[in-house]
Structure 1
Amino acid sequence: MSDALRTWSWFVRHPWHRLWDPTAGCGVMECCPNPPELRFVLDVVVAILPPNDARHLRKQIAALDEQW
């Protein structure tokens, strides 16, 4: 989970994130992340966390999503 959140944070803050191309890249999440896959992983994690932890993570994700 922490890898996915860290990678999503890096991705949305990176100035070139708008140039993401699903046909390019190496496929390694930490190098060439696939935004829909990252968000799916984070959504799954939120679904299985206890309510308080899920609420905290959703707030973090929402703040990052605003940058996307």
Structure 2
Amino acid sequence: MVQIYTWAFQDWKTITKETLATVVGLPDGITAEDYKVITGDDYVAPTKTPTTQATTTSTTN
């Protein structure tokens, strides 16, 4: 799989760094080391931001 992702990123230009980052750590994906070899950049795991849910209140008279 690494070779396909390398071709897709470096040669074919059909995959972006952001898209490539989504397959890091997946069973059929690549490792963080593979990401660095392919892109030349260190892999930085996305940070999870806490989600807040807006609450609304309604009043009836």
Q: What TM-score do the two structures reach when normalised by structure 2?
A: 0.30
The structure carrying a bigger helix percent of its residues is 1
The structure having more radius of gyration, on CA atoms, is 2
The structure showing larger relative contact order (alpha-carbon pairs under 8 Å, at least 6 residues apart) is 1
TM-score normalised over the length of structure 1: 0.28
